[in-house]
Amino acid sequence: MWVWTACLPVRSSRPGRKVLDRVSLAMRAGEVTALIGPSGCGKSTYLRILNRMHEMVRGAALAGEVLLEGEDVYAPGRRPAEVRRRIGMVFQRPNPFPAMSIADNVASGLKLAGIKAGRQEREHLIESSLRRAGLWNEVSGRLHTPGGALSGGQQQRLCIARSLAVSPEILLMDEPCSALDPTSTRRVEDTIAELGGRLTIVIVTHNMQQAQRVSQSCAFFLATHDTPGRVVEAGPTRQIFGSPADPRTADYVNGRFG
């Protein structure tokens, strides 16, 4: 089994201000890794670094490397669009194209990634992606209705299906359930469980119960008013929540701060 490793000694968003410092994490293929920690400690920034989305922020810079199967995704000549095809992203709030049909929303990922598909292949990818996202049974009879007419939880799973259509190796999820009701949250978590083992998933969450439910590994980030974010502790989820090595980790996962 290969290991996906991200090593980021320095990350800065504005001149003179570090958001992250000396961050080094190894994430195993096929596992779900949860990133936890208080707001403002750099979790979402770190997530965006992994597929080069931080480059869309003007003035952002970093030093270090992100290794995917031993190759740096920041190496000269590597195209950001290709990196983002291999490392997909699902955001905090569902962002389907509201006027576009459900089917076209899923297929739009192919167009954005520059993947050509015939009619039969396109239909197969739409169905298989919606099935993997746990949405097919709910929308199979209305694929040509607008994606914006779906509920919030269904829209989030539609966005997951759109990401899956281009066959990514890794899926990044930035608080994907924070805007959802409990029922929709459970369905998204069921989808994560279904994808686990076949896809490497990295999820940012403020919900400690969710981190325990969905992940096999966990990393605890922390920052103070005068120091940038760093990883305090990382390891198996059971260990992080059951017998953490650092007292700050214990305080956080037990709700004593944050």
pLDDT at 47 over 60: yes
Which residues, including other chains, have CB under 8 Å from residue 72's CB and lie 6 or more apart?
65, 66, 78
Structure token digits, residue 86? 């291999």
Is residue 133 scored above 70 in pLDDT? Answer: yes
**179 within a domain of the structure (yes/no):** yes
pLDDT value, residue 89: 93
Q: Is residue 148 a part of any domain in this protein?
A: no
Query: Which domain CATH number covers 21?
Result: 3.40.50.300
| Residue 202 domain flag | yes
Judged against a pLDDT cut of 60, whether residue 9 lies above it is answered with no
What is the H or E stretch that residue 34 is in? strand 32-36
- Across the range 95-115, mean pLDDT stands at 88
Task: Pick the range with the lowest mean pLDDT from 40-44, 67-71, 109-113, 212-216.
Answer: 109-113
**Quick check: is 162 in a domain?**
no
Which of the four pLDDT bands, split at 50, 70 and 90, describes residue 16?
Answer: low
Three-state SS at 30 = coil
Mean pLDDT of the chain: 88
Report yes or no on 101 lying in a domain. no
Burial of 208-243, coded b for 16+ CB within 10 Å and e otherwise, reads bebbbbbbbbbbbbbbeeeebbbbbbbeebeebbee
Q: Mean per-residue pLDDT for 116-133?
A: 91
**pLDDT at residue 72 tops 60:** yes
Yes or no: say if 49 and 221 are a contact pair by the CB < 8 Å rule: no
Q: Could you give the number of structural domains in the chain? A: 1
Span 141-173, pLDDT tens digits:
999 999 999 999 999 999 999 999 999 999 999
> What is the Cα–Cα distance from 192 to 32, expressed in whole angstroms?
8
Q: How many CB atoms lie within 10 A of CB 252?
A: 23
- Segment 17-21 long-range contacts (CB within 8 Å, at least 24 positions apart): 18/228, 19/45, 19/228, 19/229, 20/45, 20/46, 20/49, 20/228, 20/229, 20/230, 21/227, 21/228, 21/229, 21/230
- Which 8-state DSSP code applies to residue 101? B
Could you tell me the two tokens for 250?
């214990």
Least confident of 15-24, 43-52, 64-73, 124-133: 15-24
d(CA 33, CA 27): 7
Q: DSSP code of 142?
A: G
Q: Distance of CA 134 to CAs 78, 161, 194, Å?
A: 33, 9, 8
Confidence (pLDDT) at 2: 37
* 50 domain-assigned: yes
The better pLDDT of the pair 8, 77 is held by: 77
Task: Classify residue 205: in a domain, yes or no.
Answer: yes
- pLDDT, mean of residues 234-242: 97
Q: Strands 217-224, 32-36: parallel, antiparallel or unpaired by DSSP?
A: parallel
Please state, in angstroms and rounded to a whole number, the distance separating the CA atoms of residues 132 and 148: 20
> What are the pLDDT digits (tens) for 189-232?
999 999 988 899 999 999 999 999 999 999 999 998 888 899 99
Please determine, for residue 12, whether its predicted confidence score (pLDDT) is greater than 60: no
Where in the sequence is the domain holding 228, given as residue range(s)? 3-95+169-253
Confidence of residue 14 (pLDDT cuts 50, 70, 90): low
